[in-house]
Chain A
Amino acid sequence: MNNNQEMVRANGLLKKFHNFTAVNKINFSVHKQECFGFLGPNGAGKTTTVRMIYCFLEPSSGELIVLGKNVLHNPRGIKSCIGVCPQENNLDPDLPVWDNLRVFARYFDIVGKEAEIRCEELLHFVGLYAKKNSNVEELSGGMKRRLIIARSLLNKPDLLIMDEPTTGLDPQGKHQVWETIMQLKDQGTTFILTTHYMDEAAHLCDRIVIMDKGEIIMEGKPRELVEKNIGTNVLEIYSANKEIENYIKSKNLNYEKTKTHYYIYIKGGEKELAEISNKFGSEISTLRMANLEDVFLKSTGRELRE
């Protein structure tokens, strides 16, 4: 198998709920051993898209092939070869940590000694072996996430789908989940990840798409998207007044404004920072490296989403 093998391919994938189009004729493909990220604001269609990939929702139209199988014709076959970490915690509160894995393994027909070995292995891997007899509700948020990751690995999946794996975690929890994902990546696991944390996408994803209102508006490698759309640096000015705007316009700079800020997208920018500090005061501006968040906010708009 080579690394260009397509693990997932979507052609004109569409999902409608009554009159609402959640995913609007999107195309993408995910290659073997890559970490593919879906980014987008809330309601962009990320979760709907991954739910179609793990056969929880049926596409309204278009084609979706996962691991060479059509989601409409062979959902059981697909589901037996993928691992899913859903957005919400759906561990079984009626069962202790160990049984959460053992009972889940049984859904994949992994039983007896084989199941025991697998559960033990995975609890060691996510660092929860000491907690094997604990009640699920006694675990911290980060531990629950890691247990869900362990659960998603029971069937040795060819493709791992993670829907917002770190939402709601504290920094320690988040970094532990990241480390677990990095380890799996090193082992050659193929990932599909959704997130609205840009640092997460930049840190983990080889390739991303940015979705908004059900459509893919951008696709590429994180670093390249930043350079192509933003440049190398961003000059932030925390004061939106006419004089500053006139200055920016006179210099013909690429900028964006909000009620309180100007964002100037620029290569270098040291000269402009000095000039602005001289003219308008040194407290009001900073120069920093451009990041994926700039690409995201520029492409999906800065206004609050309802």
Chain B
Amino acid sequence: MTSILKNTSWRSLRVWQRNFDVYLATWKVNFIPPVLEPILYLLAFGLGLGQLVKDVPYNSHQISYLEFIAPGLIATAIMNHGFFETTYASFVRMYYQKTFDAIMSTPLTIEDVVFGEILWGATKSLFAGTIMLVVMFFFGLLSFPLSLWILPISFITGMTFASMGMCFTAIVKNIEMFNFPVFLFITPMFLFSGVFFPLSTLPIWAQYVAWFLPLTFLVSSVRAIGLGSFGMDIFLQLLVLIVLAFICTLLSLSMMKKRLLK
């Protein structure tokens, strides 16, 4: 534990820089899908489902369905971009490309490499959050300037989902095994964390279960900020995610060390 903290340094930023260089070299490929993604969702749900579901109750007033799901889609993008970066993408760098091995023969430690990857995953969440915010702005679905707070939140909670992803990367034997966390963890969160319907429509027991899913906290706080109904519970919800980020980061550092130094 103390050795993990001692071995993690500012040099993690070198790993971040490496990933950013690669990102810039292929920016068109990296940029277009995240822009299209929210537009497709908004079209499908706005033009399709939105015609059937007129209004949704939120904080004792009615809002349009599109306004309701827009913050949920931002939260989902933050989760996905962080999680998928430190699972599939990090695994490819670690396992197939041996990039981690190469870096570890320089003054960087394993801890620097893994922490740098998590920082990068959180940065991908920030990029995704930013793109989403811009698109939603043009659709007039968020309240500004309060919604700009979603940017720092994207990065901080990106750390949560990126560090969770790194924990899975430390234990999977092959890349196909990521199907387990994706279908048992990410997909259920996408469906049951209040992105598409208010949690209050669920039975009480299911609502309790939903509050065990990290995405529920993010959806709830991003929605409160995005719709301009700022309250103290946002801080508590974000605090949960920050604590989770700390725990998962430390856990993933120690698990990756075991994996790579076996």
Q: Interface residues, chain A, CB within 8 Å of chain B?
A: 17, 54, 56-58, 75-76, 79-80, 84, 86, 88-95, 99, 103-104, 106-109, 155
A-B contact list, 30 entries, CB within 8 Å? A56-B105, A56-B261, A58-B261, A79-B106, A79-B107, A80-B106, A84-B105, A86-B101, A88-B98, A90-B97, A90-B99, A90-B101, A90-B102, A92-B97, A92-B99, A93-B97, A94-B22, A94-B25, A94-B99, A95-B21, A103-B17, A103-B21, A106-B14, A106-B17, A107-B11, A107-B14, A107-B107, A108-B106, A109-B107, A155-B106
For residue B108, CB closer than 8 A to chain A, the reply is yes
What is the size category of the interface that chain B forms with chain A? 20 to 34
For residue B109, CB closer than 8 A to chain A, the reply is yes
Q: How far is the CB of B195 from chain A (nearest CB, A)?
A: 33
Query: Is A107 a contact partner of B106 (Cβ separation < 8 A)?
Result: yes
Find chain A residues with CB under 8 A from B109 CB.
75-76
Query: Is A94 a contact partner of B105 (Cβ separation < 8 A)?
Result: no
Find chain A residues with CB under 8 A from B105 CB.
54, 56, 79, 84, 86
Q: Which of B11, B21, B109 has the most CB of A within 10 A?
A: B21
For residue B262, CB closer than 8 A to chain A, the reply is yes
**CB-CB nearest 10 A-B residue pairs:** A90-B98, A107-B106, A84-B105, A90-B102, A80-B107, A94-B22, A76-B107, A79-B107, A103-B18, A90-B101
Q: How far is the CB of B101 from chain A (nearest CB, A)?
A: 5
Q: How far is the CB of A91 from chain B (nearest CB, A)?
A: 8
Interface on chain A toward B: helix, strand, loop, or mixed SS? loop
For residue B151, CB closer than 8 A to chain A, the reply is no
Q: How far is the CB of B206 from chain A (nearest CB, A)?
A: 43
Q: How far is it, in angstroms, between the C-alpha of A223 and the C-alpha of B261 when the chains are bound?
A: 38
Q: How far is it, in angstroms, between the C-alpha of A17 and the C-alpha of B262 when the chains are bound?
A: 8
Find chain B residues with CB under 8 A from A99 CB.
21, 25
Find chain B residues with CB under 8 A from A75 CB.
109
Find chain A residues with CB under 8 A from B199 CB.
none
Q: How far is the CB of A94 from chain B (nearest CB, A)?
A: 4
Given A57-B261, A103-B21, A107-B108, A94 and B97 contact (CB-CB distance below 8 Å): yes
Shortest Cβ distance from A96 into B: residue? B25
Q: How far is the CB of B258 from chain A (nearest CB, A)?
A: 12
Find chain A residues with CB under 8 A from B262 CB.
17
Q: Which of B48-104 contact A (CB under 8 A)?
A: 97-99, 101-104
Q: How far is the CB of B89 from chain A (nearest CB, A)?
A: 10
Q: How far is it, in angstroms, between the C-alpha of A59 and the C-alpha of B21 when the chains are bound?
A: 35
Find chain A residues with CB under 8 A from B99 CB.
90, 92, 94
Given A57-B261, A58-B261, A103-B21, A92 and B102 contact (CB-CB distance below 8 Å): yes
Find chain B residues with CB under 8 A from A17 CB.
262
Shortest Cβ distance from B17 into A: residue? A106
Find chain A residues with CB under 8 A from B18 CB.
92, 103, 106
Find chain A residues with CB under 8 A from B21 CB.
95, 99, 103
Shortest Cβ distance from A92 into B: residue? B99
Q: How far is the CB of A20 from chain B (nearest CB, A)?
A: 12
Q: How far is it, in angstroms, between the C-alpha of A160 and the C-alpha of B106 when the chains are bound?
A: 13
Q: How far is it, in angstroms, between the C-alpha of A79 and the C-alpha of B14 when the chains are bound?
A: 16
Q: Of A89, A91, A92, A104, which one neighbours B106 at CB under 8 angstroms?
A: A104
Q: How far is the CB of B178 from chain A (nearest CB, A)?
A: 20
Q: Which of B95-139 contact A (CB under 8 A)?
A: 97-99, 101-109
Shortest Cβ distance from A155 into B: residue? B106
Find chain B residues with CB under 8 A from A57 CB.
261
Q: How far is it, in angstroms, between the C-alpha of A121 and the C-alpha of B109 when the chains are bound?
A: 28
Shortest Cβ distance from A88 into B: residue? B98
Q: How far is the CB of A284 from chain B (nearest CB, A)?
A: 48
Q: Which of B144-192 contact A (CB under 8 A)?
A: none
Q: How far is it, in angstroms, between the C-alpha of A243 and the C-alpha of B17 when the chains are bound?
A: 72
Find chain B residues with CB under 8 A from A94 CB.
22, 25, 97, 99
Q: How far is it, in angstroms, between the C-alpha of A92 and the C-alpha of B18 when the chains are bound?
A: 10
Q: How far is it, in angstroms, between the C-alpha of A249 and the C-alpha of B105 when the chains are bound?
A: 54
Find chain A residues with CB under 8 A from B17 CB.
103, 106
Q: How far is the CB of B150 from chain A (nearest CB, A)?
A: 30
Find chain B residues with CB under 8 A from A104 CB.
102, 106
Q: How far is the CB of A55 from chain B (nearest CB, A)?
A: 8
Find chain A residues with CB under 8 A from B106 CB.
79-80, 104, 107-108, 155
Given A17-B262, A90-B97, A106-B14, A95 and B22 contact (CB-CB distance below 8 Å): yes
Shortest Cβ distance from B26 into A: residue? A94
Q: How far is it, in angstroms, between the C-alpha of A156 and the C-alpha of B109 when the chains are bound?
A: 20
Find chain B residues with CB under 8 A from A79 CB.
105-107
Q: How far is the CB of A65 from chain B (nearest CB, A)?
A: 18
Q: Please give 19 more A-B residue pairs, beta carbons under 8 A apart, in addition to A84-B105, A107-B107, A107-B108.
A: A17-B262, A54-B105, A56-B101, A75-B109, A76-B107, A79-B106, A80-B106, A80-B107, A86-B101, A86-B105, A88-B101, A90-B98, A90-B102, A91-B102, A92-B97, A95-B25, A106-B14, A106-B17, A108-B107
